[in-house]
Amino acid sequence: MTPRPPYLPPPTEDDIRKGGFSTPWDAPMIPPFPFRFRNAEILTVYWRTDPAAMAYLLPPPLRPEGDVVCCHIYKMNDTDWLGPYAEANVMFGASFEGRQGAYSPYLVLSSDVGVTHGREIHGQPKKLGKPTLEARGDLFVGTVERNGIDVLTATLPYKQHPCDPARLKPYFDFATNLNLKAIDHIDGMPAIRQLTSRRLSDVVVHECWEGPCTVELRANAQMPIFRLPVLEPLQGFYWRADFTLVPGEIIHDYLKVSP
């Protein structure tokens, strides 16, 4: 039986050299930019932590800002390429040469495509796990599971206080994400050592609610969010939004800077 020809022509060397190319070429793993997230539900909780703990996790020359951490637990209901999945992003304020943003030491996703894209393109330290966001009666409950352990549990009263979306970022600008991208060559030599920055685009917030939150952390050596201890839970937000992931930029290249 003669095999049916593929829907796409085989790649040329020029195709392989282009940005956005991903393997396997006939069923690529990584989405090209841009791609859209629609009707995402997000639980965002803030807590005060030890600034020394933040500094320990931050790659130089990034500098920590403040003493507040946040975790976004996303229920991604409709995403180009990836489909429905869940994600959790732990962040805190950081800066580089006057550029303000948020650094992500820990991310957990339920999507293998999202894990791969985050690590290979952004340099985000994503790992496979099981974040969940649900309403349990009069309470939003967000959990982040890795290795069968709920490493983070967050709660927020269900839709008690509507608020302006401008209130979502009271401590730092989490929309600008700063990451450490580290990839080696096959021979073990460093190929990429960069600080990267990306910002979400075309953000449309459909609803936003705030209130007092709780945050509980449990130890896990493979997802050690407990290194950012909860000294004081602050406020939380439930919001629903659309946004687009677009290309970012390289803000520091370790391999091009003389030691």
CATH of residue 145: 2.40.400.10
228 vs 217: CA distance, rounded Å = 9
Please indicate, yes or no, if residue 16 is contained in any of the structural domains.
no
Please indicate, yes or no, if residue 26 is contained in any of the structural domains.
no
Q: What is the CA radius of gyration of the chain?
A: 19
The distance of Cα 11 from the centroid of its chain, to the nearest Å, equals 31
The reported pLDDT for the residue numbered 94 is 97
Q: Which runs of consecutive H residues, i.e. helices, occur in 118-210?
A: none
**Candidate list 75, 126, 130, 169, residue with the active-site label:** 126
Please confirm, yes or no, whether 126 is among the known catalytic residues: yes
Q: pLDDT tens digits, the chain, 259 residues: what are they?
A: 555 656 678 889 999 899 888 888 888 898 889 999 999 999 999 999 999 999 999 999 999 999 999 999 999 999 999 999 999 999 999 999 989 999 999 999 999 999 999 999 999 999 999 999 999 999 999 999 999 999 999 999 999 999 999 999 999 999 999 999 999 999 999 999 999 999 999 999 999 999 999 999 999 999 999 999 999 999 999 999 999 999 999 999 999 976 6
Number of domains comprising the chain: 1
Q: Other CB atoms closer than 10 Å to residue 255's CB: what's the count?
A: 9
Please indicate, yes or no, if residue 179 is contained in any of the structural domains.
yes
The reported pLDDT for the residue numbered 27 is 87
Encoding tokens for residue 231?
């000294």
pTM of the model: 0.94
Please indicate, yes or no, if residue 21 is contained in any of the structural domains.
no
Domain that holds residue 206: 33-256
111 vs 84: CA distance, rounded Å = 9
The reported pLDDT for the residue numbered 10 is 84
Please indicate, yes or no, if residue 152 is contained in any of the structural domains.
yes
Residues in the chain: 259
Query: DSSP states of 26-80 as a string?
Result: TS-SSPPSPEEEEEEEEEEEEEE--HHHHHHHPPTT-EEEEEEEEEEEEEE-EET
